[in-house]
A and B are shown apart, each in its own frame.
Chain A
C-alpha cells in the first residue's frame, strides 16, 4: 500500500525532500513508517521522542494505523510567533 510522507523544517533538510512516496504493509502504524524512514536517514533517529504527527492534516499518534493513499506528516518541535 502506498502513502505520502510530508516533512517540515529540519526533518525536510535531513531527508532532502518535503514529500516522499512510500510503500508499506497494509495496516502499518505511523510509528512503523517513521522507523523505516529513520533507518533510511539515521539523522532522524534523535527526533523519535520530540516529533508530532498528523494523518490527512489531523493530529495523530504513533500507534495510529494508516490506509492506502493517506498523507502522513512528521512535525519537529515548533517555533512560531
Chain B
C-alpha cells in the first residue's frame, strides 16, 4: 500500500503515487478533470559548480492535503527524481496552482536537507529557515502558485 505522503530511499514511481491518490479520492474521482504531476530532478550544475550527485536526509512529517507527495532520501545521481507530487482537481487551473504551492512550501519548510558533491568538495545546501509560522513565506508561495 503506497501512502499519500512519504519520505524514503526507494526510486519514485509517479504512476503508483497517482494510483494511490485516485484511490484515496475515489468519492470524487469521476468529477476530476485534471491530474498534475511534478517530478523534481537532480541537476548536474548549481551556482556555477559541476555537481556529481546529491545526498538527501530528512526528519519526517507532512501536513494533510488532497494531493500526494513523496520525497526521496539517500544518494541520488544526476537525472534521478528527488521529489514527486501528484494533485487531483476538477479543473486544471487549481491542480497546477496546488502543485506549485506544494513544491514551493517543500522548499520553504519541509525538514529535508541535501548535500551537494561537486568538483573538489561537498557542502550542505542551506536555503530557507524551516519556520511554518512565517506568514511572509507562506504568502510568497501562494503568490508564485497563483502567478
Which residues from A are CB-within-8-Å of B103? 81
Which residues from B are CB-within-8-Å of A81? 40, 82-83, 103, 106-107, 110, 112
Contact with B along A46-61 (1 / 0, CB 8 A): 0000111010010100
Distance (whole angstroms) from the CB of B49 to the closest CB of chain A: 15
Q: Report how far A78 CA is from B125 CA in the complex, Å.
A: 8
Which residues from B are CB-within-8-Å of A54? 59
Name which residue of chain A comes closest to B110, CB basis: A80
The answer to whether the Cβ of A31 comes within 8 Å of any Cβ in the partner chain is: no
Tell me the residues in window 25-69 of chain A with beta carbons closer than 8 Å to chain B beta carbons: 50-52, 54, 57, 59
Which residues from A are CB-within-8-Å of B109? 78
Name which residue of chain B comes closest to A73, CB basis: B59
Is A79 touching B131 in the complex (CB atoms < 8 A)? no
On A, residues with C-beta under 8 Å from B are 6, 8-10, 13, 50-52, 54, 57, 59, 73, 75-81
5 pairs of residues in contact across A and B, judged by CB atoms under 8 Å? A9-B57, A57-B59, A77-B126, A77-B129, A80-B82
